[in-house]
Amino acid sequence: MALLEVENLTVDYPVRGPWLARRRFLRAVDDVSFALEAGETLGLVGESGCGKSTVAKALVRLEPPSHGAVRIAGNDIAALHGRELRKARKDFQMVFQDPYGSLNPRLSIRYAIEEVLKLHTTLDSAARLNRIGELLRMVGLEPEQMNRYPHQFSGGQRQRIGIARALAAAPRLLIADEPVSALDVSVQAAIINLLSDIRRRTGTALLFIAHDLAVVEHISDRILVMYLGRIVESAPAHELCARPRHPYTRALLSAVPTLEPEAKSRIVLHGDVPSPLAPPAGCSFHPRCPYAAARCRAEQPELVETSPGHRARCFFPPGASGE
């Protein structure tokens, strides 16, 4: 049994309209299913607004799922409430996108991490202090820094503190929601390498969310590609990047910078991402797809296996016939 099992996850947001008008909903996540094995790193990639962060929030119950099941270590998280949910949170923790907003500016680093230890462990005061020092060393900081406040740290250091806080409960699953997008390029690689090293040392499974496919390929064992709330392709990381089977994945890969720009041609997608309030009929990608045909405008393709372990939501997957 996989550590994380997501089945038909759907998240709808109510949308305000004129008084007495029919209630409308925005479907941010549409029938998403996937699994994550213990100790594995799964990358989730897509443009801003595709539903990646909503998936992450639904997994940890920061957003209530409208439909579907989320099982972590056998527990149906979507069905838990109150004390049962708080107890289950020990198995899964989240690293947030904004290292500036995710830490309370009024709390010292020691107190921020100690809160988690008090809630999820039975350690006494002295043992908690030792554990905080161990966690800070694990993320590349010094134990002597625990009595400082967030404003005394840089953005990269704050993200390291957020990772240390997430690891305090020794979770089995760590969800990192665009953990480097708010950081300078010079420190992004350090945080990526830190997460990869923690995964190897602790065996913690990692769901890594980002919009940069090159970064996701570097850290992930498998990759899921999202577009307009749906998974459109999934495969092992090397396989997906070497032989993409969905036109959207191809476009994302063509935008990755390379030292040999003449080795590949840039695929420019025309038009904007459709609104989730008014998704197009048929395949949601067909208004921007260079391969779209009449069938694509009329039918919604299923996520089907194009080769062992490689699935794509496309009627005419480019490259499937050896292109």
pLDDT at residue 323, as a whole number: 46
C-alpha–C-alpha distance, residues 112 and 148, integer Å: 11
Question: 287: domain range?
Answer: 245-323
Residue 265 lies in a domain: yes
Predicted confidence (pLDDT) at residue 45 exceeds the cutoff of 50: yes
- pLDDT tens, residue by residue, 112-146: 999 999 999 999 999 999 999 999 999 999 999 99
Residue 274 lies in a domain: yes
Average pLDDT, the chain: 91
Instruction: Report percent pLDDT > 70 for the chain.
Output: 96
pLDDT at residue 278, as a whole number: 87
Residue 276 lies in a domain: yes
Residue 239 lies in a domain: no
- pLDDT tens, residue by residue, 195-222: 999 999 999 999 999 988 888 998 999 9
Residue 213 lies in a domain: no
pLDDT at residue 80, as a whole number: 87
What's the whole-number mean pLDDT along residues 31-44?
Answer: 96
Residue 259 pLDDT grade (very low, low, confident, very high; cuts 50, 70, 90): low
C-alpha–C-alpha distance, residues 41 and 206, integer Å: 5
Q: Supply φ then ψ for residue 51, to 5 degrees.
A: 115, 5
Residue 114 lies in a domain: no
Predicted confidence (pLDDT) at residue 261 exceeds the cutoff of 70: no
Among 141, 154, 156, residue whose Cα is nearest residue 110: 141
Question: What is the domain count for the chain?
Answer: 1
pLDDT at residue 18, as a whole number: 75
Number of Cβ within a 10 Å radius of residue 304: 12
C-alpha–C-alpha distance, residues 168 and 117, integer Å: 6
Which positions ≥6 away from 296 have C-beta within 8 Å? 282, 283, 286, 289, 315, 316
pLDDT at residue 181, as a whole number: 86
| Kind and range of the H or E run holding 233 | strand 230-236
Among 135, 301, 316, residue whose Cα is nearest residue 232: 301
Predicted confidence (pLDDT) at residue 148 exceeds the cutoff of 50: yes
C-alpha–C-alpha distance, residues 127 and 194, integer Å: 25
C-alpha–C-alpha distance, residues 274 and 263, integer Å: 31
What's the whole-number mean pLDDT along residues 82-98?
Answer: 91
Residue 264 pLDDT grade (very low, low, confident, very high; cuts 50, 70, 90): low
Q: And the tokens for 215?
A: 């970064």
In the block, residue with structure tokens 């209530």: 64
Residue 12 one-letter amino acid: D
pLDDT at residue 322, as a whole number: 45
Residues 224, 51, 182: CA angle, nearest 5 degrees: 90
Residue 13 lies in a domain: no
C-alpha–C-alpha distance, residues 165 and 160, integer Å: 9
pLDDT at residue 20, as a whole number: 66
Predicted confidence (pLDDT) at residue 294 exceeds the cutoff of 80: yes
Residue 309 lies in a domain: yes
Residue 124 one-letter amino acid: D
C-alpha–C-alpha distance, residues 15 and 79, integer Å: 25
How far are the Cα atoms of 84, 180, 193, 194 from residue 190, in angstroms, in the given order?
Answer: 36, 10, 5, 6
